Structure 1
Amino acid sequence: MNVLEYLDIKTIKATTAETIVELKITDNVKQPYGIVHGGVNALLAETAASIAANVDLDHTSQVAVGVDVHSHHLKAVSHGTIQAIATPIKRGRRLQTWQVTTLEIESGQETSFSTITTMINQL
Protein backbone atom coordinates (compact mmCIF):
# COMPACT_ATOMS: atom_id res chain seq x y z
CA MET A 1 0.00 0.00 0.00
CA ASN A 2 1.36 3.43 -0.86
CA VAL A 3 0.89 6.64 1.14
CA LEU A 4 -1.91 7.93 -1.11
CA GLU A 5 -3.93 4.77 -0.48
CA TYR A 6 -3.03 4.69 3.23
CA LEU A 7 -4.21 8.27 3.85
CA ASP A 8 -7.04 8.04 1.27
CA ILE A 9 -5.78 10.98 -0.79
CA LYS A 10 -8.04 11.44 -3.80
CA THR A 11 -7.11 12.93 -7.17
CA ILE A 12 -9.92 15.30 -8.15
CA LYS A 13 -8.37 16.67 -11.35
CA ALA A 14 -5.14 15.90 -13.19
CA THR A 15 -4.05 18.16 -16.03
CA THR A 16 -0.87 20.07 -16.75
CA ALA A 17 -2.78 23.34 -16.27
CA GLU A 18 -4.22 22.42 -12.87
CA THR A 19 -4.08 19.36 -10.66
CA ILE A 20 -6.15 18.97 -7.48
CA VAL A 21 -5.78 16.39 -4.72
CA GLU A 22 -8.00 16.14 -1.66
CA LEU A 23 -7.74 14.73 1.86
CA LYS A 24 -10.39 14.41 4.55
CA ILE A 25 -8.88 15.43 7.89
CA THR A 26 -8.77 12.56 10.38
CA ASP A 27 -6.82 11.95 13.57
CA ASN A 28 -4.26 10.05 11.45
CA VAL A 29 -2.99 13.32 9.92
CA LYS A 30 -2.96 15.49 13.06
CA GLN A 31 -0.19 16.53 15.42
CA PRO A 32 -0.62 15.65 19.11
CA TYR A 33 -2.02 19.21 19.44
CA GLY A 34 -5.05 18.34 17.33
CA ILE A 35 -4.17 20.25 14.14
CA VAL A 36 -3.08 18.96 10.73
CA HIS A 37 0.63 18.13 10.71
CA GLY A 38 2.69 20.47 8.51
CA GLY A 39 4.23 17.48 6.78
CA VAL A 40 0.80 16.57 5.48
CA ASN A 41 0.59 19.97 3.73
CA ALA A 42 3.99 19.30 2.14
CA LEU A 43 2.93 15.76 1.19
CA LEU A 44 -0.22 17.03 -0.52
CA ALA A 45 1.71 19.78 -2.32
CA GLU A 46 4.37 17.41 -3.65
CA THR A 47 1.70 14.89 -4.62
CA ALA A 48 -0.31 17.43 -6.62
CA ALA A 49 2.80 18.79 -8.37
CA SER A 50 4.18 15.32 -9.13
CA ILE A 51 0.87 14.13 -10.57
CA ALA A 52 0.68 17.27 -12.75
CA ALA A 53 4.29 16.88 -13.91
CA ASN A 54 3.64 13.27 -14.94
CA VAL A 55 0.47 13.92 -16.96
CA ASP A 56 2.13 14.33 -20.39
CA LEU A 57 5.10 12.00 -19.95
CA ASP A 58 5.77 8.70 -21.69
CA HIS A 59 5.47 6.46 -18.62
CA THR A 60 7.43 3.67 -20.27
CA SER A 61 10.58 5.82 -20.28
CA GLN A 62 10.03 8.85 -18.01
CA VAL A 63 8.91 9.71 -14.50
CA ALA A 64 8.79 13.09 -12.74
CA VAL A 65 9.64 13.21 -9.04
CA GLY A 66 9.83 16.00 -6.50
CA VAL A 67 13.35 17.30 -5.79
CA ASP A 68 12.62 20.48 -3.82
CA VAL A 69 9.72 21.43 -1.54
CA HIS A 70 9.15 24.79 0.15
CA SER A 71 5.97 25.02 2.21
CA HIS A 72 4.64 27.97 4.18
CA HIS A 73 1.98 27.12 6.73
CA LEU A 74 -0.58 29.91 6.92
CA LYS A 75 -3.50 28.64 9.00
CA ALA A 76 -3.97 25.67 11.31
CA VAL A 77 -6.95 23.40 10.65
CA SER A 78 -8.35 20.53 12.67
CA HIS A 79 -11.41 19.35 10.74
CA GLY A 80 -12.96 19.31 7.29
CA THR A 81 -11.35 18.50 3.97
CA ILE A 82 -8.25 20.06 2.47
CA GLN A 83 -7.37 20.39 -1.19
CA ALA A 84 -3.99 21.05 -2.78
CA ILE A 85 -4.18 22.83 -6.13
CA ALA A 86 -1.04 22.75 -8.30
CA THR A 87 -0.50 25.13 -11.21
CA PRO A 88 2.67 25.45 -13.31
CA ILE A 89 5.14 28.26 -12.90
CA LYS A 90 7.65 26.82 -15.42
CA ARG A 91 7.45 23.54 -17.33
CA GLY A 92 10.88 22.81 -18.72
CA ARG A 93 12.07 19.63 -20.45
CA ARG A 94 13.97 18.41 -17.38
CA LEU A 95 12.90 20.62 -14.44
CA GLN A 96 9.46 21.96 -13.67
CA THR A 97 8.36 24.38 -10.96
CA TRP A 98 4.86 24.31 -9.52
CA GLN A 99 2.87 26.62 -7.28
CA VAL A 100 0.57 24.77 -4.88
CA THR A 101 -2.14 26.34 -2.74
CA THR A 102 -3.70 24.22 -0.02
CA LEU A 103 -7.06 25.21 1.39
CA GLU A 104 -9.81 23.94 3.63
CA ILE A 105 -12.63 23.61 1.12
CA GLU A 106 -15.64 24.35 3.33
CA SER A 107 -14.30 27.72 4.54
CA GLY A 108 -12.22 28.40 1.42
CA GLN A 109 -9.37 29.56 3.66
CA GLU A 110 -5.82 29.00 2.48
CA THR A 111 -3.91 26.79 4.91
CA SER A 112 -0.52 26.61 3.17
CA PHE A 113 1.38 27.73 0.10
CA SER A 114 4.16 25.68 -1.48
CA THR A 115 6.63 25.80 -4.33
CA ILE A 116 7.66 22.42 -5.71
CA THR A 117 10.38 21.58 -8.21
CA THR A 118 10.12 18.28 -10.04
CA MET A 119 12.75 16.59 -12.17
CA ILE A 120 11.95 14.38 -15.14
CA ASN A 121 14.03 11.21 -14.99
CA GLN A 122 14.64 8.81 -17.85
CA LEU A 123 13.89 5.22 -16.85
Structure 2
Amino acid sequence: MAKNNQREPGQPVQVMLRLPAEMRDRLATLAQANGRSMNAEIVGALEQHLKGLDRLSAVEAFIGQHRDEILSIGKFEQRIGDLEVLVRTLSDHTVSSLLRDPEFIRRLKSE
Protein backbone atom coordinates (compact mmCIF):
# COMPACT_ATOMS: atom_id res chain seq x y z
CA MET A 1 0.00 0.00 0.00
CA ALA A 2 1.19 3.53 -0.73
CA LYS A 3 2.44 5.78 2.06
CA ASN A 4 0.99 9.25 2.69
CA ASN A 5 3.08 11.18 0.13
CA GLN A 6 3.65 8.29 -2.27
CA ARG A 7 1.24 6.86 -4.75
CA GLU A 8 1.25 3.71 -6.75
CA PRO A 9 1.47 4.10 -10.53
CA GLY A 10 -1.90 4.08 -12.21
CA GLN A 11 -3.83 4.73 -9.00
CA PRO A 12 -6.21 7.69 -9.15
CA VAL A 13 -5.54 10.67 -6.92
CA GLN A 14 -8.38 12.57 -5.35
CA VAL A 15 -8.27 16.33 -6.01
CA MET A 16 -10.45 19.06 -4.53
CA LEU A 17 -11.72 21.25 -7.35
CA ARG A 18 -13.73 24.45 -7.19
CA LEU A 19 -15.70 25.45 -10.28
CA PRO A 20 -18.07 28.30 -11.03
CA ALA A 21 -21.66 27.03 -10.80
CA GLU A 22 -22.28 27.71 -14.49
CA MET A 23 -19.25 25.63 -15.50
CA ARG A 24 -20.36 22.79 -13.25
CA ASP A 25 -23.79 22.85 -14.89
CA ARG A 26 -22.23 22.81 -18.37
CA LEU A 27 -20.00 19.90 -17.38
CA ALA A 28 -22.97 17.98 -15.97
CA THR A 29 -24.94 18.51 -19.19
CA LEU A 30 -21.98 17.51 -21.36
CA ALA A 31 -21.22 14.43 -19.24
CA GLN A 32 -24.84 13.30 -19.44
CA ALA A 33 -24.90 13.83 -23.22
CA ASN A 34 -21.70 11.77 -23.55
CA GLY A 35 -22.96 9.05 -21.21
CA ARG A 36 -20.20 9.39 -18.66
CA SER A 37 -19.60 10.79 -15.20
CA MET A 38 -18.57 14.36 -14.57
CA ASN A 39 -15.23 13.03 -13.35
CA ALA A 40 -14.70 11.13 -16.61
CA GLU A 41 -15.69 14.25 -18.55
CA ILE A 42 -13.18 16.40 -16.65
CA VAL A 43 -10.39 13.81 -17.00
CA GLY A 44 -11.12 13.50 -20.74
CA ALA A 45 -11.06 17.27 -21.20
CA LEU A 46 -7.78 17.56 -19.29
CA GLU A 47 -6.22 14.74 -21.34
CA GLN A 48 -7.20 16.49 -24.59
CA HIS A 49 -5.83 19.77 -23.30
CA LEU A 50 -2.52 18.19 -22.26
CA LYS A 51 -2.17 16.40 -25.61
CA GLY A 52 -2.65 19.78 -27.28
CA LEU A 53 0.08 21.27 -25.11
CA ASP A 54 2.37 18.36 -26.02
CA ARG A 55 1.75 19.00 -29.73
CA LEU A 56 2.33 22.72 -29.23
CA SER A 57 5.59 22.01 -27.43
CA ALA A 58 6.68 19.74 -30.29
CA VAL A 59 5.90 22.45 -32.84
CA GLU A 60 7.76 25.06 -30.79
CA ALA A 61 10.77 22.72 -30.52
CA PHE A 62 10.71 22.10 -34.28
CA ILE A 63 10.57 25.83 -35.01
CA GLY A 64 13.42 26.42 -32.57
CA GLN A 65 15.56 23.74 -34.24
CA HIS A 66 14.86 25.04 -37.74
CA ARG A 67 14.67 28.76 -37.00
CA ASP A 68 17.44 29.75 -39.40
CA GLU A 69 15.98 27.72 -42.26
CA ILE A 70 12.52 29.16 -41.64
CA LEU A 71 13.85 32.71 -41.58
CA SER A 72 15.79 32.11 -44.80
CA ILE A 73 12.51 31.38 -46.61
CA GLY A 74 11.80 35.12 -46.61
CA LYS A 75 15.18 35.77 -48.21
CA PHE A 76 14.45 33.23 -50.95
CA GLU A 77 11.03 34.76 -51.57
CA GLN A 78 12.69 38.16 -52.02
CA ARG A 79 15.28 36.69 -54.39
CA ILE A 80 12.57 34.97 -56.41
CA GLY A 81 10.69 38.27 -56.64
CA ASP A 82 13.86 40.00 -57.81
CA LEU A 83 14.41 37.31 -60.45
CA GLU A 84 10.81 37.62 -61.67
CA VAL A 85 11.29 41.37 -62.13
CA LEU A 86 14.55 40.74 -63.98
CA VAL A 87 12.91 38.16 -66.28
CA ARG A 88 10.03 40.54 -67.08
CA THR A 89 12.48 43.35 -67.75
CA LEU A 90 14.63 41.17 -70.00
CA SER A 91 11.57 39.80 -71.76
CA ASP A 92 10.24 43.29 -72.41
CA HIS A 93 13.66 44.43 -73.58
CA THR A 94 14.08 41.35 -75.81
CA VAL A 95 10.66 41.80 -77.40
CA SER A 96 11.37 45.49 -78.01
CA SER A 97 14.74 44.67 -79.55
CA LEU A 98 13.30 41.95 -81.74
CA LEU A 99 10.53 44.22 -83.03
CA ARG A 100 13.17 46.73 -84.14
CA ASP A 101 15.26 44.06 -85.87
CA PRO A 102 14.48 44.10 -89.63
CA GLU A 103 15.76 40.54 -90.11
CA PHE A 104 13.39 39.25 -87.39
CA ILE A 105 10.47 41.16 -88.93
CA ARG A 106 11.27 39.75 -92.37
CA ARG A 107 11.31 36.17 -90.98
CA LEU A 108 8.00 36.79 -89.20
CA LYS A 109 6.37 38.00 -92.41
CA SER A 110 7.71 35.07 -94.41
CA GLU A 111 6.23 32.44 -92.12
Q: Do they fold alike, i.e. is TM over 0.5?
A: no
Query: Structure 2-normalised TM-score?
Result: 0.20
Q: Which of these two proteins has the greater Rg computed from alpha carbons?
A: 2
Q: Which has the higher contact order (CA 8 A, sep 6+)?
A: 1
Structure in which a larger fraction of residues adopt strand: 1
Query: Structure 1-normalised TM-score?
Result: 0.19
